Structure 1
Amino acid sequence: MDEGAAMARYEEVAADLRQRIDDGEWSPGETIPTTAELMERYGYSKETVRAAVDVLAREGLVRVIKRRGTVVQDRTVGRRRIPRSTTVMRDPLRGYVFPAASRPDEPWEVHGQPKRMLAPIPSDVAERLGVESGLEVMRRRRVTSPAGEPPFQIADAWIHPDVLLEAPQAGEISTGPGGYLDRIEEAGHGPLEWEETTRVRMPVKEEASLLQIAMEMPVWEMTTVGVSARTGRVVEASVRVIPADRAELVSKLQRGASAQWPVEPVTPKA
C-alpha cells in the first residue's frame, strides 16, 4: 500500500471526526462510534481508524477509556498561564507557597482524598534524592484543580528516608502548621533552598487516569528539590504533573546592562 495514501486516509477520518465534534454531534462526556462502526462508516481498516483516533487523542479532543470507549473531552476549560517567578512566598497558615497556576483568592479543590504512603520511587526522583531507584519512600500525593474544573495537576512530595526519621511528623496525615516543609526545617535542615526543573514528557498510565487525559497527551513535569542548609544535600522533592493542553509557562524577560534603551550610537571606526 502506498504510504502517502494510507496517511491521507487516517487524516481524512480524523478531519471528519474533528469537524463532527466541533459541530456538536457528540457532547463532552459522550462516546463516539466504536472502531467497528467507524470501519463500516468510512470503509477503512482498523489500523487506519485507530490512527485517526490517536490523532484526536493527541490533540486533546478525545480520550480512550477502557471498557467504555472513546470519550469526547470538555474543551471549555481554558488554558492557564503559569508565571514562572523565582520567588517563594509564605502564607501564615499554609506555609511556603511556590509559583503556581492559581490566582490570589481563587478556590481550589482536592479530587479524592490526599494520600500518604510508602511507594516505589521513580528513577529520576531517586537520583535527585540520592537513593536507590524503586526504594519505598514516603510520598505525599494530592490531585487538585480550580473549583469545578477537571483534575489539573498531580502533586507528589517525596521525603528522603533519613530525613523522615528525623522529622516523622512530615510523613503523617496531619503535619501541623506550615506543613511538612516546616517540620523538615525544624529538624535542623532550615533554611531550605530550592531548585526547580521543568520538562515535557508522556504520562504513565496512572497519571493519565488521575488527570482524565489520553495516554497520547504530553504533560508538563515540574520538579522542585529542597536542599538542606546543614548538609547541602537534597532532603525532599516535589513533583507536579500538569496536562500540556491545560497550561503554558510565562516568564517576564528583563533587559541586561548591554540591552538598555535608548541605544547608544555606535561611532564608526576611522
Structure 2
Amino acid sequence: MTDPKTPKWRHLAAEVRCRIEDGTYSPGTALPQLKPAAEAAGVSYETMRAAYKALESEGLVRSVKRTGFVVLQAPGRRRVTRGTTIARDPARGYVFPAASRPDEPWEIHGRPFRAFVPAPTQVAEHLGISPGTEILRRRRVTSPAGEPPFQLVDTWLSPDAVTDAPRVAEPSPGPGGYLDRLEEAEHGPISWSETVRVRMPDREEAQLLTVSTAMPILETTIVGVSAKTKRPIEVTVRVIPGDRVELFSELQRARSARWPVAPIEPTK
C-alpha cells in the first residue's frame, strides 16, 4: 500500500532503491535513461529526474556526463574515535586519529599528486600568506584495500618548509614522510590542532571520491606549528563522504555529575 499523498517521485525513488539493493542494478551499471524510464513509468521527465536525484543525494548513484546515473558500490560506514592522541609507528611515522584499523592494508587510488599550486583562502590564512600564493600541495586519494575511495587528503607545505627541508617536495620523502623531514630541519617537535566541519564538496572533490556533489562531506583540518618559528608550517585537509564515516567519543562525567547525587544541604 502506498500513501496517495506521497509525491510520485518518492515512490519511484523507492522502487529503484529496492532494485539497487536486490542487485537488479549492480554497482557500475547505469540506470535506465531518464526519458524512456519516465515514459515506462507514465510520469514526466522532471518527475523521473527528481527520483534519480533523490537517490544521488543518498549516495546510491552518481551522475556521469554522457552516461547518465551510475550505481555506486555500497561503502561500509566506518567509526572514527575522536581522540586527541597522536601515536607513532616505527614503519609509518606519526599516526593521527583516523578510520584505519590495526594492520589493515590501505591502497592509493590513481597517482599521488604533488605540485606548486595557488593556496586557497583557508590554507593561506592558516599559513599567514596571501591567498593565491603558489605553495606545495601533496594530494592522495586512499581507501582500505578493495573499497571505493574513502578519503581525499591534501597536505599544504609553507615556503619555509620547502626551503628548510627540500626532500618534502620529492615523490617519496623517506622514512617517516614529510613530517620527519620537517622535524629534522629543526622545526620539531611540531604541535598540532584540528578543526572538524561538514560542508558540500566541489566538483573535483566529488569526482575524485566518486560521489555526488549533493553528498555532504566531513572535513578535518590539521595545522602543524613549528617549534622553531612558532608559526604554522603545514596544513593537512582530509575530506570523507558523509555516508562513509561516523564520529565516536567516550563521554566522561565531571565531578558535578557524579552518582549518587550529593544531598542538598538545607538552607537555614
Q: Identify unmatched segments of 5+ residues in structure 2.
A: none
In the other structure, the counterpart of 1:34 is: 33
Contact 1:6 1:48 in 2 (8 A): no
Q: Which TM-score applies when normalising by structure 2?
A: 0.93
CA distance in 1: counterparts of 2:107 and 2:181, whole angstroms: 24
In the other structure, the counterpart of 2:161 is: 163
**Secondary structure in structure 2 of the residue aligned to 1:265:** coil
CA distance in 2: counterparts of 1:197 and 1:268, whole angstroms: 45
In the other structure, the counterpart of 2:263 is: 265
Q: CA deviation at 1:62?
A: 0.9
The answer to whether the aligner puts 1:61 opposite 2:55 as a matched pair is no
In the other structure, the counterpart of 2:179 is: 181
In the other structure, the counterpart of 1:242 is: 240
Q: CA deviation at 1:163?
A: 2.2
Identity of aligned residues (%): 57
CA distance in 2: counterparts of 1:215 and 1:22, whole angstroms: 22
Q: How many pairs does the alignment contain?
A: 265
In the other structure, the counterpart of 2:149 is: 151
Q: Identify unmatched segments of 5+ residues in structure 1.
A: none
Question: Is the deviation greater in 87-96 or in 6-15?
Answer: 6-15
Q: CA deviation at 1:224?
A: 0.3
CA distance in 1: counterparts of 2:160 and 2:183, whole angstroms: 14
CA distance in 1: counterparts of 2:105 and 2:15, whole angstroms: 39
Amino acid corresponding to residue 11 of structure 1 in structure 2: R
In the other structure, the counterpart of 2:13 is: 14
**Secondary structure in structure 1 of the residue aligned to 2:98:** coil
Question: Is the deviation greater in 23-32 or in 136-145?
Answer: 23-32
In the other structure, the counterpart of 2:190 is: 192
Q: CA deviation at 1:6?
A: 11
Contact 1:95 1:178 in 2 (8 A): yes
In the other structure, the counterpart of 1:231 is: 229
Amino acid corresponding to residue 194 of structure 2 in structure 1: E
Q: CA deviation at 1:41?
A: 1.9
**Secondary structure in structure 2 of the residue aligned to 1:200:** strand
Change (3 A) 1:120 1:6: farther
Q: Per-residue displacement from partner, 1:132-166 (whole Å, max 9, x unpaired)?
A: 22222101111111111111111111001122111
Amino acid corresponding to residue 62 of structure 1 in structure 2: V
Change (3 A) 1:24 1:174: closer
